[in-house]
Structure 1
């Protein structure tokens, strides 16, 4: 176990970023098409192909999930991923005729990092298609660095550096993991302290060892982005949870809903009108979960993994600044 979404098995993760632009892309690549659902909780989301995951749709599995910086420009990262998947003949097969291209199903979500000081003078060639292609080509089953990497490079969390983080947990015989690109409006720290809101879920000082002062009292936070976002803008937390059990689309939707609680467990305020909080849930296993009680336990674990992954994203990003 590496305390990583890759502990789930059946997945590869790829990253690409551009230091000059201060942005990046992360790709979640299942070994085989994976059942997937999504929950969107923020008021300013940016997504692609999430409607495909609806309960009444034709499609019941995805070939990749893309997390990207760049706001609306970042949605083009999925173009590069689709091109690579299509070339590999990995996609929905609309016709048995081999001359008809397959249709890769690649839902994606973006975060707003366009005001972080990077060079965004890209003319008519934003870098995201190329970043998406590089990220999927680099996909690996090896544990990866956290913090300023992939979709987390250039992110901010409140007034702090944001980043990309991951965490995993075992519930019975099921492993569940999360990968989070943390770029929220709210702060991950309790006001006036260096203690993460998610400190009760900390395992082995995975994001430091700070705990609240004994006489701690809540105070009005001064380290969120709210005061700096009077004009139109967007922040967000985007990411995914995955588990090595066979869940139905309906069960995965409930898992994604419960996983969103992890954002509220680790950031305050969360799910604001300025955030685009979007989480995907993927299933890579073969053993079904039939008990609602078991599903509830997995949902609770998914929320903890999200909270820990988000805190680790910020912790490792701060360590490198």
Structure 2
């Protein structure tokens, strides 16, 4: 039996995780929350030159905390980092968080790393008054967490742009013959293009499953100038940007395993976007294991398989998010 997409073809095909979204169409921005049912082993890898992140130092080797209560992805540039406050409020109300010692009257502290993308110049009325709207959007996204959620212009992908095309939220999953599931979610606001120059084929087309992003293929005689970036936001042949993502698996991983999977997953960006990891991109990926640590730890070959699946599934999620956004805006039928 070959590896296939999961039942929903969403990150939530991994048991024990839900996704919540909130968006404001007037501001043209939003927030996405990845919510495991219990604290999950986590890691993060950042490759873009202009990242905006919160609490990622906690995920470094040798730190006190190695599990998280949620991950948030948000529009709004640095304003969007406030989305974590709303997510933390929801988690505190639910009694979730980290405590060194349980003490009466001292609440646990929810651990909520996250990352932002820059959608301030992509349209919408960004002239809000007073406190930025992202904490409220974060709490709303937390409260709507479910197994089913929208793709395309939704959540943190609401106001995104992918090169010269509308960006959006994408997700995909893969299930191995042994029943291990890897899911990916991406909010695509890239400087680079996800489409091959002069075609309607996505760079990620070799990894597509069951026509999930339109089935477009490059012509047999396709060739291009190495400096032709196609429909990127700027093209040397003829900003401000980021793709932020999360991988979740039900494979048991140690924190060190998760960091290796996150590093391998970065190649999913380069399979789907060109150019990528530019000085003005904030590309970052989080990895969660809902099963927690295994004893003994998984062998290196198993970690390699999970990392490769993370990369290919992430590439599919990126293409799928842009394809859905293009379909919603009438760019494709």
Normalised by the size of structure 1, how large is the TM-score? 0.96
Deviation at 1:123, TM superposition (A): 2.6
Which of these residues, 100, 120, 125, is aligned with residue 119 of structure 1?
125
1:161 pairs, out of 141, 162, 166, with 166
Q: Hey, which bits of structure 1, 4+ residues long, moved more than 3 A?
A: 286-289
**1:17-166 to 2 correspondences below 5 Å:** 17-141=23-147, 143-166=148-171
Match of 1:210 among 207, 216, 229: 216
| Structure 2 residue 236 is matched with structure 1 residue 236 | no
Are residues 297 and 74 of structure 1, via their aligned partners in 2, closer, same or farther at CA, if it must alter by over 3 Å? same
Structure 1 residue 249 and structure 2 residue 266: aligned?
A: no
State how many pairs are aligned. 316
Cα contact 1:94–1:103 (8 A) shared by 2:
no
RMSD over aligned Cα atoms: 1.3
Is residue 2:286 matched to residue 1:280? yes
Structure 2: gaps of 5 or more residues: 1-6
Deviations 1:256-295 (A, max 9, x none): 1111100000000011111000100000125735221111
Q: Deviations over 1:23-78 (max 9, x none)?
A: 00000111000000000000000000000111111001100000000000000000
Cα-to-partner distance string for 1:172-202 (whole Å, 9 max, x where unaligned): 3310000000111000000111110011111
- The secondary structure found in structure 1 opposite 2:126 is coil
Q: Which residue is equivalent to 1:265?
A: 271
**Closer/same/farther in 2, CA of residues 202 and 251 from structure 1, 3 Å limit:** same
2:4 matched residue in structure 1: none
> Secondary structure in 1 aligned to 2:183?
strand
Counterpart in the other structure of 2:301: 293
Question: Helix, strand or coil: the match of 2:286?
Answer: strand
Shift of 1:204: 0.8
Gaps of 5+ in 1: none
Q: Is the 8 A contact 1:192 1:221 kept in 2?
A: no
CA distance in 2, matches of 1:320, 1:9: 29
Q: Verify the 8 A CA contact 1:69 1:112 in the aligned structure 2.
A: yes
Separation (CA, whole Å) in 1 of partners of 2:23 and 2:91: 20
Secondary structure (helix, strand or coil) at the match of 1:226 reads: coil
Partners in 2 of 1:157 and 1:19 — Cα distance? 18
Deviation at 1:124, TM superposition (A): 2.4
